[in-house]
Amino acid sequence: MQKVSVKLKKKVDYSYDIYIGNKILGDWLLDYFKQNSFSIIGIITDSNVDKIYKEKITSLFPKNSRWFTFSAGEENKNINTLLQLSSSLQKENFDRKSLLVALGGGVTGDITGFLASIYMRGISFIQIPTSLLAMVDSSIGGKTGIDTEFGKNLLGTFSQPEAVVIDTEFLKTLPEIEIKNGMAEIIKHGLIFDKDYLLNLKDTDYEKIVKRSCEIKSYVVSKDEKENGLRQILNFGHTIGHGLEKLFDFSLPHGICVALGMLIESRISMERKILSIEDYNQIENILKNYGYLNYLEKIKGLDIEKLFSIMLSDKKNLKGKVRIVLLKKIGRVYNEGNIYSFPVDINEFIKVFQTLNIL
């Protein structure tokens, strides 16, 4: 037998910067395209963002830019949209020296990042998030992907952008419910990482808030890019949140489901005597003040068996138990070494849902 080794050990540096400010986009783009040239640039956006911004900001991009718009909505974060976009790029002769720009919310960011990571085996992309959720969460960390008929984000890659540019001016046109969706992630950052940040959120200086959330998310991602340990803490509230979203056929907004997920996961932490009653009460109060708990009524009497089986089918859960992140105190998650999520069985869920008056 003969052997030929394919030696691929190499040091790579995928670092990038996040630029944050109000009305910074024009200057940033001017500077960026002065320093970097591309054969052709594809701005990918959804139909809502297109309607509000295409005319206004086309002139900020170089002449060799093309716009590609897909229909807004999570239901379009799928293989069909991906293939349509890829065909459009091919028709316009996009090559390996081209750049994609994700201009939009998390759906746009996820699909554009995924497309960039597989188009001709990978081309450069930048993120220009326009929703609060995308600014504080989805545009950072390099997770890309699309949904399949079996669930959310089941096809995807880890692929980091060249840069993320956050212009908080975009928030002016964002619907109130989308602000609530982003706010849930911001509260999550406070709960898992930074109590002071959480307690000072009342001051709605978005530039400051977005910056702190970006710091927290990028710290976690840089310690554990591929979610082998620490990055799991970002799933706090999401195991149950995603389950609720699916159980109610996506009729409840994502942020509401995550907030309720955080409440229930905090309650489990308290019932296990990991989190103090005082901290739990404070969390409940904060979520109540933001209006999230008004939705408890909507999930009252839910089908817990069905919710449990939905959560079990999530890719992160194994062996008849659902794994969730637990809180040790406000600002700190519970861990055992490099393990940050812990199994919960259906009986424990039933008990906690009963104490919360959901069942």
Dihedral through CA 174, CA 176, CA 177, CA 183, nearest 10? 90
Does residue 104 bind ligand NAD (CB under 6 A)? yes
How many CB atoms lie under 10 A from the CB of residue 17?
10
| Min dist. Cβ of residue 105 to ligand NAD (A) | 2
Least Cβ distance, residue 141 to ligand NAD (angstroms): 5
User: What is the spatial distance between Cα 114 and Cα 108, in angstroms, rounded to a whole number?
Assistant: 10
- Whether 231 is a known active-site residue: answer yes
189 counts as binding ligand NAD under rule CB under 6 A: no
User: Which of the 8 DSSP states describes residue 292?
Assistant: G
Rule CB under 6 A: say whether 165 interacts with ligand NAD: no
Residue 189 is a catalytic residue: no
131 binds ligand NAD (CB under 6 A): yes
Q: Are 132 and 181 in contact (CB under 8 A)?
A: yes
User: Residue 110 or residue 279: which is nearer to ligand NAD going by CB?
Assistant: 110
- Write out the two tokens for 42: 């594809």
- Residue 127 as a binder of ligand NAD (CB under 6 A): the answer is no
Among 242, 246, 267, 323, the active-site one is 242
Residue among 321, 319, 324, 355 nearest 342 (CA): 324
Instruction: Give bridge partners of residue 165 from the DSSP assignment.
Output: 19
Any contact of residue 331 with ligand NAD (CB under 6 A)? no
* 178 belongs to the binding site for ligand NAD (CB under 6 A): yes
174 binds ligand NAD (CB under 6 A): yes
Q: What are phi and psi of 139, to 5 degrees?
A: -80, -10
CA–CA dist 198, 204 (Å, integer): 12
How far is it, in rounded angstroms, from Cα 102 to Cα 100?
7
Task: Note whether 227 binds ligand NAD by CB under 6 A.
Answer: no
Distance CA 259, CA 188 (A): 8
Nearest approach, Cβ of 230 to ligand NAD (angstroms)? 15
- CA Rg value for the chain: 21
20, 41, 100, 107: residue in contact with ligand NAD (rule CB under 6 A) = 107
Distances (CA, A) of 12 to 9, 99, 120: 10, 20, 20
Nearer to ligand NAD, 42 or 113 (CB): 113
Closest distance to ligand NAD from the beta carbon of 258 (Å)? 10
Q: Which amino acid is at 240?
A: I
The first and second tokens of residue 213, run together, are 């959330």
Nearer to ligand NAD, 57 or 264 (CB): 57
**Catalytic, out of 152, 211, 246, 254:** 254
Nearer to ligand NAD, 42 or 145 (CB): 145
Catalytic residue among 48, 76, 77, 143: 143
Number of residues that bind ligand NAD (CB under 6 A): 28
Residue entry with tokens 């408890």 = 296
242 noted as active-site residue: yes
Residues catalogued as catalytic? 121, 143, 185, 217, 227, 231, 235, 238, 242, 254
The site for ligand NAD (CB under 6 A) is made up of: 46, 48-49, 52, 72, 74, 77, 104-108, 110, 130-131, 133-134, 137-138, 141, 143, 152-153, 170, 173-174, 178, 181
